[in-house]
Structure 1
Amino acid sequence: MEKYLRRLEKDVWRSVEEGPHVPVLTPVQTDGATTRLGGGQPALNRPTKDDLDKMENDAIAFYEISCGVAPDNFDIIINCKSGKEIWDVLKNLYEGPEQAQDKKLTNTLNKFNNFKAHAGESLEDSFKRCNLIVTKLSNVGTVRSNHETNLQFLNGLGRH
Structure 2
Amino acid sequence: MAPNDDSDNRVPRLVNRADFKNWTIRLRHHLCSIDNDLWKSIEKSSHIPTQTAPDSASTYTKDSTEPYPEDNLSAEDLRKVKNDSKAYSLMCKGLPLQVLSRLDAYQTGYTCFKALKSICEGGEQLRSLKKSKLKRELELFEHINGETVHQMMNKFVHLITEMSNLGVKTDLQDLNDRLLCALPSSWKQTVTLLKHTEKFPMDLDLLIGKIEEVEIDEGSRNTDRSSSQAQYKYVVNPANTVENAFLAQDVTSAPNPNPNARLEPEVVIL
**TM-score of Structure 1 vs Structure 2, range by shorter chain:** 0.5 to 0.7
Alpha-carbon distance, 1:58 to partner? 0.9
Task: Give the fraction of aligned pairs with identical amino acids, expressed as a percent.
Answer: 21
Report the more deviating stretch, 117-126 or 61-70. 117-126
Q: State the match for 1:9 in structure 2.
A: 35
Q: Helix, strand or coil: the match of 1:89?
A: helix
Q: State the match for 1:111 in structure 2.
A: 137
Q: State the match for 2:267 in structure 1.
A: none
- Is 1:83 the counterpart of 2:96? The answer is no
Q: Which runs of 5+ in 1 are unaligned?
A: 28-36
Q: What CA distance in whole angstroms lies between the structure 1 residues aligned with 2:45 and 2:107?
A: 10
8 Å Cα contact 1:108-1:137 kept in structure 2: yes
- Residue-pair matches, total: 146
Q: Give the AA of the match of 2:142.
A: A
Which structure's CA Rg is the greater one?
A: 2
Report the TM-score when normalising by structure 2.
0.43
Q: What CA distance in whole angstroms lies between the structure 2 residues aligned with 1:6 and 1:146?
A: 32
Q: Give the one of 100, 105, 112 matched to 1:74.
A: 100
8 Å Cα contact 2:142-2:181 kept in structure 1: no
Q: Helix, strand or coil: the match of 1:24?
A: coil
Q: State the match for 2:80 in structure 1.
A: 54
Alpha-carbon distance, 1:83 to partner? 0.7
Report the TM-score when normalising by structure 1.
0.66
CA deviation profile, 1:33-53 (whole Å, cap 9, x unmatched): xxxx6x7969xxx65544333
Q: What CA distance in whole angstroms lies between the structure 1 residues aligned with 2:154 and 2:181?
A: 15
Say if 1:116 and 1:142 are closer, same or farther in 2 by CA, change over 3 A.
Answer: closer
Q: Which runs of 5+ in 2 are unaligned?
A: 1-26, 59-71, 189-270
Q: What CA distance in whole angstroms lies between the structure 1 residues aligned with 2:141 and 2:121?
A: 27
